[in-house]
Structure 1
Amino acid sequence: MTVELPVKRLADYSVFSKEDVEAIFELGKKLKGLKVVHVNATAYGGGVAELLMTIVPLMKDAGLDASWEVLEAPMEFFNVTKKLHNALQGADIEISEEEWELFEKVNEENAKRLNLDADVVIIHDPQPAYIPYFRSGTHTKYIWRCHIDTSTPNLKVWNRLTSKMTKYEKALFHIMDYVRAPFDNIAVEFPPSIDPLSPKNREISEAELKSVVDRYKIDVSRPIITVVARFDPWKDLFSAINVYRKVKERFDVQLAIVSAMAKDDPEGWIFFEDVLRYAGVDKDILFLTDLKGVGHLEVNAIQRLSTLGLHTATREGFGLVISEMMWKEHPVVARPVGGVKIQIDDGVNGYLRQSVEELADAVCDLLENQSRLREFGKNAKEKVRKTYLSTAHVKRYLEIIKSVVK
C-alpha cells in the first residue's frame, strides 16, 4: 500500500538550521529525480511511521522521487513480528517453523505486490527485511534501517533472520553498540529525528493549551512527571509508577502516562490492562491515550505542561520521546539504555540513573532546584536543535543514498 503524503517544504525549516537546509539542496541537485522507496510495517501508531511522515516529503522537496510503501499482512504476521522484535532485543523466545514460513510468505507476497521499482529501497526494521531476498534481476540498491536495540539479541533468532539479508548495501543503526555480524562492514551510525513543525512539536497557543487542560482536567498547579511510551514490557511502566510513588512521599506530584496503541503491536492491549491494574485507583496517575482522543497535538500540549520527563525503559532503540520532551525545554530523567544515553548528557540536560531509587532521587533533585530545572531545560532544547531535528536526518539520508548509487 502506498501512503499518501503531506506536502512539506525544506525552506520552512531554515529558521531552525539554515546550514542543514542548504546542504540538503546541494545534495538534492546531485540526486535529482532518483527514485527512493521507504518500506515499513504500519502508517500510524509508531515512531517509524512518524519519522517517515516528515522524512519522505522533505526528500521529495529536495528533488528526489521519494515514496513510502506499507506492508499488507494479516494480524497473525504482526504477532510473529512482535515476537521477532522482542527476540532481537534479547528475549528468550522460540519462533516456530510455521511462524518463520508465515514471515517469509508475507515478505514474498509484498515483494511482488508493492511498488518497489526504484533506484534505492530503504527497508525499516525486521518486518519487511526479506523483501530484497524475494526480488531478482533489478538494478535496485537496498538499505536496511534498524530502529531496534540489537546489542544483545537472541542469537538463534538473529542468525536465522539475517541469513537471508544478503542484498543490503548499507545497514543503518541508531548507535554502533547495536551492530553485529553480518553487518559489521556495511554498518553506519544513524540517529533519528523529530520534526519541529509537526503537530507533536510545533509551538502551540495558550488557547490550545487551555483546551487540553480543560478537556482532560489536568491540574497545572502541581508538578507533572510525564512518561510517553507505548504499552510494551520493555518500557517498564511499572517502574515509572514506582518512581512516582517514591517521589510522592516528598512532593505533591502527578504522573502522566501518555501513549498510543499501534496497529502492529497486538501484545500492547494486554500490557495496557496490566499497567492499569498496577496503578490502581490513584487519581494522580493520569492515563492519557488515543483511546481518550489524545493525538499528536495533545501530546505536544501535555509535554509543554509537564515539569520534567521520565523514561524507565530497559531496552530502547532510540527513544525519540526524549528528544520531544527536551525540545519543549524540559529535562528528562531516564535509564542509560540504547539511544537514550546519547541524547541525555548526565548532569547537563537531564539525569541518567538505573534503579527506581536513583531515578526517584534524580527527579526530587530537579523538583528541589528550580534554577537547575530551568538550566537543564534550556540545555536540552539546544542539544536537540543541533543534533536531532528532521533536517539533520534528511541530510544523513541523502549522504547515504549518494554513497550507494555513485
Structure 2
Amino acid sequence: MRVKLQEKSVEEYRNLVGEQVEQIKELAKPLQGLKVVHINATPYGGGVAEILQTLVPLMRSIGLDAEWRVIEAPVEFFNITKKFHNTLQGAGIEITEEEWKFYEEICKKNAELIEGDEDIVVIHDPQPAAIRNFARARSDTKWIWRCHVDLSTPNENVWSRFSQYVSNYDRMIFHLEEYFPKDKGLRGKCTAFPPSIDPLSEKNVELEPSFIAETLKKLGIDMEKPLVTVVARFDPWKDLFSAIDVYRIIKRELGSIQLAIVSAMALDDPEGWIFFEKVLRYAGMDEDIKFCTNLRGVGSKEVNVIQRASTVALHTATREGFGLVISEALYKRVPVVARPVGGVKIQIQHGENGYLAWEKEALAEYILELVRNESLRKRMGELGRKTVLEKFISTVNLMNYLRTFLQVLG
C-alpha cells in the first residue's frame, strides 16, 4: 500500500533553521533521482508514521525519488509483532514456533512491496524486518533497518532468532548508541541519530487563541485550572497508572488540578485496547482526568491544543525508544517532568528545560514546583524550544538520513 502525501519543501523551514537548508541541498547533490522506499506497519498512529509524513515529502523536495509503503497484515500478525516489541525491550515473553512461522509468512507476502527498482530500502521497526529475506531486489540495492525501540537489554532468546532477519542489512540505525546490539558482527553496521518532530505539521504549528479556547471547551478542559498532560500510547511500558498516581499526589496538595491523558489507538497495536480499558478503570470516576483520544475525535490539531494549554508535560514511561512527545512539548515551551529512560535523557537537561526522576513522589514534587513558579516555567520553556530547534527537528533528521545514504552507497 502506497501512502499518499502532501507536498513539502525544505524552503518552508528556512525561517526556523536558516543555513541548514543550504547544507541539505549540498548533501543532496550526489543523490539526485535516488529511488528510496520507506516501509513500516501503519500509515497513522505513533511516532514512525508522523516522522514519515514529513521526511518522505522533504526527500522528494530535494530531488530524491522517495516513497512510503505500508504492509498489509491481519490482527494476529500485529499481536505477534507487539510481542517482538516487548521482548526486544526485555520482556520475558515466549514466542512460539507457530508465531515465528506466521510472522515470516506475512512478511513473505509483503515482500511484493519491493518492485526491484529501488536503490535504498529503509525498513522501520520489527514488523516488516523479515521482508529483506524474501524480496526480489536488485543485487546492488542497499537495505537499512531503522529501529525505533530500546534494544539495550533484549530478551536474548528472542533476539538470537530475530537478529537473523536483520543480519544481512547494510546499515542499522538506532536512536542511541546504547541501543546497539552486542553482537560483534552487527555493531560495525550500526549508527545512531535521533528522530524528529515537524514544527510545521498540524501537531506543532502555531494556533489561534480562539481555536485553542474553543477546542478545550469541547474537550471539557478548564482553562482556569492547571493542566498536566501525558501523551502516550496505551502500552505497558508507558506506565499510565503511575501518571495517575502522580496526579493524585499533586491533587492532594493543590486541590485544583487536571490530568489529560492523550493517545491514539494505532492500527499496529491491538494490545492498546486492553490497556485502554485497564487505565480507564484505574482512573475511576474522577472528572478531572480527561481521556483525549481519536475515539473522541482528537487528532493532530487537538493534541497541539492540549499541549499548548498544558502547565507541565509528564512522561512516566519505564522504557522508551526516544519519546517524540517530549520534543513536542518542549518545542511549545512547556517544561517536561519525566523518568530518565532511553531517548528522554538526551532531550531533557535536568533543571534546565525540565526535571528527571524515577519515583512518583519526586515527579509530583517537581510538577508542584513548576505549577507554583510561573517565571521558572517560562525560563525552562524557552530553553526547551531552543533545544528542539538545534537537535530534534525535521531538517536535522533529513540531513542525518542523507549522510547515511551517502555512506552506504560508498
**Distance across 2 between alignment mates of 1:95 and 1:217:** 43
**Distance across 2 between alignment mates of 1:347 and 1:115:** 51
Which residue does the alignment assign to 1:267? 271
**Distance across 1 between alignment mates of 2:315 and 2:217:** 26
**Distance across 2 between alignment mates of 1:328 and 1:399:** 29
Which residue does the alignment assign to 1:51? 51
**Distance across 2 between alignment mates of 1:12 and 1:113:** 31
| Match status 1:199 vs 2:202 | yes
| Equivalent position SS for 2:211 | helix
Which residue does the alignment assign to 1:122? 122
**Distance across 2 between alignment mates of 1:375 and 1:334:** 18
Q: Is the 8 A contact 1:37 1:116 kept in 2?
A: no
- Between 361-370 and 77-86, report the one with greater CA deviation: 361-370
Which residue does the alignment assign to 1:153? 154
**Distance across 2 between alignment mates of 1:20 and 1:127:** 33
Shift of 1:106: 1.1
Q: Name structure 1 gaps, 5 residues minimum.
A: none
Which residue does the alignment assign to 1:310? 314
- Between 130-139 and 116-125, report the one with greater CA deviation: 130-139
Q: Is the 8 A contact 2:334 2:384 kept in 1?
A: yes
Q: Is the 8 A contact 2:85 2:126 kept in 1?
A: yes
Counterpart residue type for residue 392 of structure 2: Y
**Distance across 2 between alignment mates of 1:212 and 1:115:** 44
Q: Is the 8 A contact 2:167 2:186 kept in 1?
A: no
Counterpart residue type for residue 170 of structure 1: R
Which residue does the alignment assign to 1:240? 243
Q: Is the 8 A contact 1:225 1:308 kept in 2?
A: yes
Which residue does the alignment assign to 2:189? 186
Which residue does the alignment assign to 2:91? 91
Q: Is the 8 A contact 2:307 2:329 kept in 1?
A: yes
**Distance across 1 between alignment mates of 2:129 and 2:115:** 16
**Distance across 2 between alignment mates of 1:193 and 1:269:** 27
Change (3 A) 1:92 1:234: same
Q: Is the 8 A contact 2:120 2:144 kept in 1?
A: yes
Counterpart residue type for residue 171 of structure 1: M
Which residue does the alignment assign to 2:78? 78
| Equivalent position SS for 1:304 | helix
Give runs of aligned pairs for residues 221-370 of structure 1, distance below 5 A: 221-251=224-254, 252-370=256-374
TM-score (structure 2 length as normaliser):
0.97
Q: Is the 8 A contact 2:111 2:134 kept in 1?
A: yes
Which residue does the alignment assign to 2:141? 140
Q: Is the 8 A contact 1:69 1:115 kept in 2?
A: no
Counterpart residue type for residue 276 of structure 1: L
**Distance across 2 between alignment mates of 1:245 and 1:183:** 45
Counterpart residue type for residue 292 of structure 2: L
TM-score (structure 1 length as normaliser):
0.98
Please list the CA deviations of residues 360-388 of structure 1 after superposition, one character each: whole Å capped at 9, or x if unmatched.
Answer: 11111212222111111111011001110
Give runs of aligned pairs for residues 9-24 of structure 1, distance below 5 A: 9-24=9-24
Please list the CA deviations of residues 138-187 of structure 1 after superposition, one character each: whole Å capped at 9, or x if unmatched.
Answer: 32100110000111110110110012322211110000111112421111
Shift of 1:217: 2.2
| Equivalent position SS for 2:290 | strand
Change (3 A) 1:233 1:186: same
Q: Name structure 2 gaps, 5 residues minimum.
A: none
Counterpart residue type for residue 172 of structure 1: I
**Distance across 2 between alignment mates of 1:235 and 1:115:** 37
Shift of 1:88: 0.4
Give runs of aligned pairs for residues 1-12 of structure 1, distance below 5 A: 1-12=1-12
Which residue does the alignment assign to 1:109? 109
CA RMSD of aligned residues (A): 1.0
| Match status 1:171 vs 2:162 | no
| Equivalent position SS for 1:164 | helix
**Distance across 2 between alignment mates of 1:391 and 1:292:** 32
Which residue does the alignment assign to 1:211? 214
- Between 26-35 and 361-370, report the one with greater CA deviation: 361-370
Counterpart residue type for residue 258 of structure 1: V
Q: Is the 8 A contact 2:174 2:180 kept in 1?
A: yes
